[in-house]
């Protein structure tokens, strides 16, 4: 199946192979290493037009990074709906199961700048551009289903609070500082999202294993004009996994590109990540049936109450050719919408609709950003918008206004039946007011529901997350205020965090009394397929090539990624060998560890490797000699997830579980 968007992008490709160098004006260049000077040691000349052009262009190569979500990575792919969804919508890409729709996805962190590490604790952006035949639909979502605020007018406050503090620009890439936790404590609507960010969801293992959420309530509209409230979900077919915080922090230094590398390499290998599109649907007559307001973006619709229907699949199967040209210049906007989809009155969504074009103008230099190749729709664009910076089209004809008679009134508008976008005719009336709806004011029930839905291990990770972040604040007042907020959700959580950060918990127990939970919120319920799992095999001493071959064969059959780690790199076969050394490999870069030893003196780096893998709850397998030698190491050989074996077939079973939290 061809991908129309990639075909379109191909037309803009520029390849220098076999080409002579020219200036931007097309003049061939004879010398590109020396400026024009008076004599060999004399001053440079102003007339050196080639130098002037080259250096001018270079001086302007950077564009402003995104104000939020600056650090990101994207890939191309396609989407196909499983069944005709015309019951709910007349959007063409959701009603024709024969059709594949090109997509471009950009994953991102929120707080950090463009060069910040991938593995920080943060919300991840999950923005999808569908290039449908009826125009572009952008689903600009996150990996956490709720947001910190309820009204867009508070977005600058939230972002000012979470970004590096203005007096010293610290910290980079994280929320573990006073202003963020001060915001948290003074703006109780942020409680729910903060709980998610402090849970394992805030430190995903990679982009392939995150969920995606549209967050807001949207509408689907069918051809009869009936509307349904909808929340969009992306469910990863790779399972859902997180890092351990200590591991994430080490990775900041060991590999700042950990997540982008994982995505890039998976796609290069043909190991294409896939997500199913999920819909939660609420009919208009059910709008007020819930104990939360469906317009409130700080609330989920618990899946046990409103099940997610999986309606289609997205596959990411092509890396970009150039990160700046495609990923950096991609301009997403929740207001890029197609017929059959519409907005709800969620005040956060409404504000976003206004905001995103502004940011593109300052980032991409003018209102023609839709003409940049990555942003062009695959269908034709015709209107009377003209001129402005960086216009790429040459518009023919005398008229650029509507209505006209000189050009037969073209470009003409079209009716809904012919594909023209029509807004859903929602009836609204009211007074102009600045007031938060009372129905938005329950800030603590859903945080409690989230807490109740976690496993014990996940709960403990959240305690650790809060303790680290609040513990990093300098102001005792901020710490106390933050703990007071937690006290309104759960007494035990507040007590544990208070103890860890050295403040008192409020005397009064204010917690929400509820056992309500949702079975779909824990990450541990997701199956994690074996293919893609990575294992480091540490070689101590002389391990025979036949042994290595038998390991390599089994791992390849099972779809595992592996690396043999030895003293020096060594080719064994055409396809494999010892590729890593103790200097280049690190336990945080692998999901599990095998140590094979011949009994000769154990390399101290091997012991450190095993201890760190153990600490991060990863599966460990030692052959008998290695186990004997590791008796003195800081690990327990009889702990869960530690296996002693040298049979590659049985070893693979150790990887059934990604982490042994019960260690």
List residues with catalytic annotation.
Answer: 69, 142
Nearest to 518 by CA among 214, 301, 200, 238: 301
User: How far is residue 22's CA from residue 411's CA, in Å, rounded to a whole number?
Assistant: 39
Nearest distance from C-beta of residue 370 to ligand HDE, angstroms: 13
Please give the structure tokens belonging to residue 175.
Answer: 């929320």
Nearest distance from C-beta of residue 113 to ligand HDE, angstroms: 13
CA atoms within 13 A on the CB side of 641: 22
Q: Are 115 and 156 in contact (CB under 8 A)?
A: no
Nearer to ligand HDE, 377 or 619 (CB): 377
Nearer to ligand HDE, 29 or 153 (CB): 153
User: How far is residue 490's CA from residue 176's CA, in Å, rounded to a whole number?
Assistant: 21
Nearest distance from C-beta of residue 230 to ligand HDE, angstroms: 14
User: How far is residue 363's CA from residue 293's CA, in Å, rounded to a whole number?
Assistant: 35
Q: Reduce the secondary structure of 454-481 to three states and give it as a string.
A: CCHHHHHHHHHHHHHHHHCCCCHHHHHH
b vs e for 234-255, b when ≥16 Cβ sit within 10 Å of the residue's Cβ?
A: bbbbbbbbbbbbebbbbbbeeb
- Which DSSP string do the residues of 503-552 spell out, in sequence order? -PPPSS----------TTS-STTS---STT-EEEEEEES---HHHHHHHH
Nearest distance from C-beta of residue 453 to ligand HDE, angstroms: 21
Nearer to ligand HDE, 155 or 184 (CB): 155
Nearer to ligand HDE, 129 or 177 (CB): 129
Nearest distance from C-beta of residue 326 to ligand HDE, angstroms: 12
Nearer to ligand HDE, 350 or 445 (CB): 350
Nearest distance from C-beta of residue 595 to ligand HDE, angstroms: 41
Nearer to ligand HDE, 68 or 548 (CB): 68
User: How far is residue 465's CA from residue 471's CA, in Å, rounded to a whole number?
Assistant: 10
Length of the chain (residues): 663
Residues binding ligand HDE (CB under 6 A): 66-69, 72, 106, 108, 125, 127, 140-142, 147, 152, 155, 215, 330, 332, 348, 351-352, 355-356, 359
Instruction: Quickly tell me which residue has 């192979």 as its tokens.
Output: 17
User: How far is residue 94's CA from residue 83's CA, in Å, rounded to a whole number?
Assistant: 8
Q: Enumerate the β-bridge partners of residue 566.
A: 581
The residue at minimum Cβ distance from ligand HDE is: 125
Nearest distance from C-beta of residue 123 to ligand HDE, angstroms: 8
Nearer to ligand HDE, 436 or 624 (CB): 436
Q: Enumerate the β-bridge partners of residue 136.
A: 131
């Amino acid at each position: 199946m061809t991908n129309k968007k990639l075909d379109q992008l191909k037309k803009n490709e520029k390849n220098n192979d076999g080409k002579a160098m020219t200036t931007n004006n097309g003049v061939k260049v004879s010398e590109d290493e020396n400026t024009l000077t008076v004599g060999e040691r004399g001053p440079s000349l102003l007339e050196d037009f080639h130098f002037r052009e080259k250096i001018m262009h270079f001086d302007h190569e950077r564009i402003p990074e995104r104000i939020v979500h600056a650090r990101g990575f994207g890939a191309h792919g396609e989407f196909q709906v499983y069944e005709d969804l015309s019951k709910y919508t007349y959007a063409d890409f959701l009603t024709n199961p024969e059709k594949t729709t090109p997509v471009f996805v950009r994953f991102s962190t929120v707080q950090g700048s463009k060069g910040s590490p991938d593995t920080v604790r943060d919300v991840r952006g999950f923005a999808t551009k569908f290039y449908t035949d009826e125009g572009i639909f952008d689903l600009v979502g996150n990996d956490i289903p709720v947001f910190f605020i309820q009204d867009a007018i508070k977005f600058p406050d939230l972002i000012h609070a979470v970004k590096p503090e203005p007096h010293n620009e610290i910290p980079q890439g994280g929320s573990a500082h006073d202003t963020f936790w001060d915001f948290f404590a003074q703006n109780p609507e942020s409680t729910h999202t903060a709980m998610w960010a402090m849970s394992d969801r805030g430190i995903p293992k990679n982009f392939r294993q995150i969920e995606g959420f549209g967050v807001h309530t949207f509408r689907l509209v069918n051809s009869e004009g009936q509307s349904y409230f909808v929340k969009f979900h992306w469910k990863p077919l790779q399972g859902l996994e997180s890092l351990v915080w200590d591991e994430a922090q080490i990775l900041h230094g060991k590999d700042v590109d950990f997540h982008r590398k994982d995505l890039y390499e998976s796609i290069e290998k043909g190991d294409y990540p896939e997500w199913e599109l999920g819909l939660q649907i609420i009919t208009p007559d059910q709008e007020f049936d819930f104990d939360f307001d469906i317009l409130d973006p700080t609330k989920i619709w618990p899946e046990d109450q409103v099940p997610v229907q999986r309606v289609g699949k997205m596959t990411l199967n092509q890396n970009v050719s150039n990160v700046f040209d495609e990923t950096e210049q991609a301009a997403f906007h929740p207001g890029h919408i197609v017929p059959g989809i519409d907005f709800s009155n969620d005040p956060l969504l409404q504000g976003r609709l206004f905001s995103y074009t502004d940011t593109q103008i300052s980032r991409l230099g003018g209102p023609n950003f839709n003409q940049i190749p990555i942003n062009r729709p695959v269908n034709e664009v015709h209107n009377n918008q003209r001129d402005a910076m960086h216009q790429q089209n040459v518009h023919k004809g005398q008229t650029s206004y509507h209505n006209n008679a000189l050009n037969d009134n073209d470009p003409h508008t079209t009716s809904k039946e012919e594909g023209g976008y029509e807004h859903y005719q929602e009836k609204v009336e009211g007074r102009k007011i600045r007031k938060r709806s009372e129905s938005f004011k329950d800030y603590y029930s859903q945080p409690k529901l989230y807490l109740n839905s976690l496993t014990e291990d996940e709960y403990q990770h959240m305690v650790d997350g809060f303790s680290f972040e609040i513990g990093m604040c300098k102001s005792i007042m901020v710490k106390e205020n933050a703990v007071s907020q937690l006290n309104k959700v759960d007494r035990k959580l507040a007590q544990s965090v208070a103890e860890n950060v050295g403040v008192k918990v409020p005397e009064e127990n204010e917690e929400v009394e509820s056992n309500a939970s949702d079975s779909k919120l824990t990450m541990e319920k997701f199956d994690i397929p074996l293919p893609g799992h990575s294992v480091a095999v540490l070689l101590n001493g002389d391990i025979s090539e036949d042994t290595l071959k038998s390991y390599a064969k089994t791992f390849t059959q099972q779809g595992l990624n592996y690396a043999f780690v030895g003293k020096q790199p060594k080719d064994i076969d055409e396809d494999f060998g010892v590729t890593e050394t103790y200097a280049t490999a690190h336990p945080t870069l692998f999901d599990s560890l095998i140590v094979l030893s011949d009994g000769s003196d154990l390399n101290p780096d091997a012991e450190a490797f095993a201890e760190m893998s153990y600490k991060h709850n990863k599966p460990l397998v030692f052959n008998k000699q290695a186990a004997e030698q590791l008796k003195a190491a800081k690990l327990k050989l009889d702990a869960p997830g530690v296996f002693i074996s040298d049979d590659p077939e049985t070893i693979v079973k150790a990887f059934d579980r990604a982490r042994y939290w019960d260690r």
